[in-house]
């Protein structure tokens, strides 16, 4: 959505900043290193994430099984995988020990255009769209299923010259920011809040 606003000449007022906290930015590759490491995550498990994504796109009961096996994308999506190729976009410390394998394309005949829509998956936007995005804040957490989405987005934005501030929380978990209230009062949530507000204070 941001990239559409920034690139549309009809929008006179452009977005000044964008902030993404442990964001999910693509669903075409369901077997990134963070998906494997955090399959049984504390807050967001891989099966739950696949179930939530599936109900958003289709009622077809075979889709979640296909997504679990990374076989849910059509043949015509092949050109998009360069935008989410973690073997080139992830820093070495997050690639270590994992071998990139291409998803199996075209095994099912799902007709789901939203799977390749950049409004659903901003990582699928090409460089000419991304380069017009505003200053960006991205927060990622080590123990988070969608960690690698954020890391790849940092790489892609930096590669096209977008000013990016990236905070990575080594002991962080997905949704930590929502765990600051009773009965949890998770200190991690307060730390993430403070980092985010500090960036806003400097950039708004």
* pLDDT value, residue 14: 75
User: Quick one: tokens of 198?
Assistant: 């500090």
Q: If pLDDT is split at 50, 70 and 90, which confidence band does 11 have?
A: low
* pLDDT value, residue 56: 93
State yes or no: pLDDT of 87 exceeds 80.
yes
CB 3 within 8 A of CB 130: yes
CB 72 within 8 A of CB 63: yes
State yes or no: pLDDT of 61 exceeds 80.
yes
Say how many Å lie between the first and final Cα of the chain, rounded.
20
Within 10 A of 124 (CB to CB), how many other CB atoms are there? 22
The per-residue pLDDT for range 173-190, each reduced to its tens digit, is 999 998 888 777 789 999
CB 44 within 8 A of CB 31: no
State yes or no: pLDDT of 3 exceeds 70.
no
How many angstroms separate the CA atoms of 106 and 76, rounded? 8
User: Quick one: tokens of 192?
Assistant: 């993430």
Average pLDDT, the chain: 93
User: In which order are the strands placed within the sheet that holds 135-143?
Assistant: 17-21, 135-143, 164-173
Averaged pLDDT for residues 149-163: 98
List the beta strands (DSSP E) in the chain: 17-21, 135-143, 164-173
Q: If pLDDT is split at 50, 70 and 90, which confidence band does 109 have?
A: confident
Q: What are phi and psi of 137, to 5 degrees?
A: -115, 130
* pLDDT value, residue 185: 78
State yes or no: pLDDT of 133 exceeds 80.
yes
State yes or no: pLDDT of 9 exceeds 90.
no
CB 55 within 8 A of CB 68: no
* pLDDT value, residue 160: 98
State yes or no: pLDDT of 28 exceeds 60.
yes
State yes or no: pLDDT of 143 exceeds 90.
yes
């Amino acid at each position: 959505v941001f990239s559409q606003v920034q690139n549309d000449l009809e929008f006179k007022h452009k977005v000044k900043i964008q902030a993404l906290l442990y964001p999910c930015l693509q669903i075409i590759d369901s077997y990134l290193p963070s998906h494997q490491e955090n399959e049984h995550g504390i807050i967001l498990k891989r099966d739950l994430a696949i179930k939530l994504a599936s109900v958003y796109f289709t009622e077809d009961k075979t889709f979640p099984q296909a997504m679990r096996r990374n076989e849910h994308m059509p043949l015509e999506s092949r050109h998009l995988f360069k935008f989410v190729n973690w073997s080139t976009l992830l820093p070495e410390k997050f690639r270590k020990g994992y071998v990139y394998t291409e998803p199996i394309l075209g095994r099912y005949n799902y007709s789901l255009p939203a799977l390749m829509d950049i409004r659903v998956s901003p990582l699928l936007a090409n460089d000419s769209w991304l380069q017009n995005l505003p200053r960006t804040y991205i927060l990622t957490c080590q123990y988070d299923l969608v960690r690698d989405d954020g890391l790849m987005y940092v790489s892609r934005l930096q590669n096209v010259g977008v000013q990016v501030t990236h905070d990575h929380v080594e002991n962080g978990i997905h949704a930590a920011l929502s765990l600051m209230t009773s009965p949890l009062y998770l200190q991690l949530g307060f730390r993430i809040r403070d980092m985010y507000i500090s960036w806003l204070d400097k950039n708004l």
